[in-house]
Amino acid sequence: MKILTFGDAMIRGEQFTKAAGMLGDHEIVTTDWEADWGKLQNRRLVIEQQGPAVEEVPQMFKDNKDADMVLGLFGPFSAEGMDAFDDLKLIGVARAGTENVDVKAATERDIVVVHVMGRNAQAVSDFAIGLMLNESRNIARAHHSIKNGEWRKTFSNSDYIPELKGKKVGLVGFGYIGRLVAKKLSGFDVEVIVFDPYVKPESIDMPHVTIVDKETLFREADFISLHARLTEENHHMVSRSELAMMKPTAYLVNCARSGLIDTDALVEALKNKQIAGAGLDVFDIEPLEEGNPLRELDNVTLTTHIAGTTSDALMQSPFLLAEEVKKVLETGHASWVKNPEVLSRPKVKQWIESLQS
């Protein structure tokens, strides 16, 4: 079997090659797609917004057309890219989101798509709580004032700077990351309310967590943190109407996807102090362009899409992916297969059985 590793500036191909060694003694070709960090951030965002077909087929696909498997992170796996191979059988991406993979095209071609759930869940959940504290307690603004020779003590929320104790924190989305946020917040003595149409109340095993509808969450929460995947159905789910429901003392945090929020509506709400503040790690255009109105506001904390970027999360991701691929090859099934229906198809079963013999 031939394995092509497909790294980038965030996780190099060499790291994927080390992880691929867990799969046995196979031919492994090590490559990198986009080694420039700045360019990678822009290209990955465009792919997430427009799909993998927006990119040209990578040359390394054409140079390794006999590869059976490709393991990577952010590179584009379009239908055309898959067709560049003679007989590609498995695509593995070391991330939870598969926006850079045309899963429908892969399924049509009997190609197994494996991803990694929760690889940066600890990192993102830590960061979300950090943004709640940072924005509401003016940590970054105070730091900036000292760096600029000032000693600032007055802020836009000076009349209602909150403590977390006793507050309601609303979580939109209650998957692995949302559950970690709720677990970590339990030590702050908060009440957590959750909106997630796919979660049943009986599945909640935390006494401080309650399932509510969307309107209740936006009306009652003192902090709202978004942890939902971006779909066509929930695009701009936080619009003017949701922002109008929020308390004037409430804060909005987004470490998920920028498309969940109507940015123009948020800017308007922040300008008018309709809400107290926001903490944002994701944006419609990255890097945040010069002249963006978010840069001019004093009641928003902006970070450079780094919520999930820790050394721990990055270094373990390829190995988590390899472990999941190994399950597929050894048992014919795994928990993190994006299109599990292909595992029962004759061509896929025959390939897996050939590796087991």
Q: Could you say which of 191, 286, 323, 330 is catalytic?
A: 286
Using alpha carbons, list the distances in angstroms from residue 95 to 70, 71, 319, 333, 357.
Answer: 14, 11, 12, 19, 30
CB 113 within 8 A of CB 103: yes
Q: Could you say which of 305, 324, 330, 341 is catalytic?
A: 305
Q: How far apart are the C-alpha atoms of 194 and 280, rounded to whole Å?
A: 20
Q: How far apart are the C-alpha atoms of 234 and 279, rounded to whole Å?
A: 20
C-alpha radius of gyration, the chain, whole number = 22
Q: Residue 349: what are its φ and ψ, rounded to 5°?
A: -60, -40
Tokens representing residue 82 in the block: 């898959």
> Active-site residue 286, yes or no?
yes
For residue 140, with 0-12 CB atoms within 10 Å meaning exposed, 13-18 middle and 19 or more buried, which class applies? middle
Tokens representing residue 206 in the block: 């935390």
Q: Which of 95, 86, 91, 119 is nearest to 103 (CA)?
A: 91
Q: Could you say which of 12, 115, 227, 257 is catalytic?
A: 257
143: CB partners within 8 A, 6+ apart: none
Helix (H) or strand (E) holding 298: none
> Active-site residue 305, yes or no?
yes
Q: Residue 302: what are its φ and ψ, rounded to 5°?
A: -115, 130
Residues noted as catalytic? 257, 286, 305
